[in-house]
Amino acid sequence: AEAVVAGGGSVAIFDLASSDGEAVAAEMGGGTTFHACDVTDFEGTEQTLASAAESLGGLDAVVNTAGGGVARRTLSKDGPHPLDEFRQVIDLNLVSSFNINRVAAGIMAENEPNDDGEPGVMINTASIAAFVGQIGQVAYTAAKAGIAGMCLTMARDLGSLGIRVNAIAPSLFATGITKGIPDEFADALTKDAAFPKRLGKPEEYGRLAVAIIENPMLNGGCIRLDAGQRFAPR
């Protein structure tokens, strides 16, 4: 969001009402607005997205970053993986992203295309767990693999409209619960990276997102942003 605003764009931030989204939006300025939203409330999200697009005067790009998981094996000493937990992770990571994509596509289709014939672009967030999931990440891996897998198909679905679809697959980034972890713990988590051996920085994700928005040849792909890291089994 900061990178888009710095480039002269207007941004609508969606996050939970309990988040810092309102304060962040006010601090960023540049016409940035905050919209309290639970992305697993699919109908409510559709309404919020339509309202935000109207207040922005249109919708040119969407970046989905909501996500989370549970630490649970397919079968543990407590029994099989609870099905409701699996569904919750799929809803939060995969279904919510698809819901925003499908609604955003309808809004973008009404745009006047730019000089490249493009009315909009969508970016979803996968994870390197989609390709090298660790023990206990089965629900998260399934959800993120779904994000990566639907990329090309959705790009093909929307190609006739000029709407591009891409995904970013980050490794561990200094956001959310990992933001304030001790250095020694961060070092242990990133020891399998090629270079640099550290947590990713939010602005590095932002730079890639902006690059995708600006480059019309980036379409239908899931781009790894992981410093060459491959998770070990645990």
Clarify whether 140 is annotated catalytic.
yes
Quote the CA–CA distance of 190 and 197 in Å, as a whole number.
5
DSSP character at residue 112: P
Q: How many CB atoms lie within 10 A of CB 15?
A: 19
**CA dihedral over 219, 221, 222, 224, signed as positive or negative:** negative
Here the tokens at position 37 are: 């939203």
- Residue 44 phi/psi, 5° resolution? -65, -40
Here the tokens at position 139 are: 């629900």
Residue type, 31: G
Here the tokens at position 117 are: 């014939």
Where does the chain show beta strands of DSSP type E? 12-15, 33-36, 61-63, 75-76, 79-80, 120-125, 163-170, 222-225
Q: Catalytic residue among 14, 34, 86, 140, which?
A: 140
Residue 173 C-beta-side C-alpha neighbours within 13 Å:
22
Helices (H), 31-179: 42-56, 83-90, 96-108, 138-158
Q: What positions carry a catalytic annotation?
A: 140
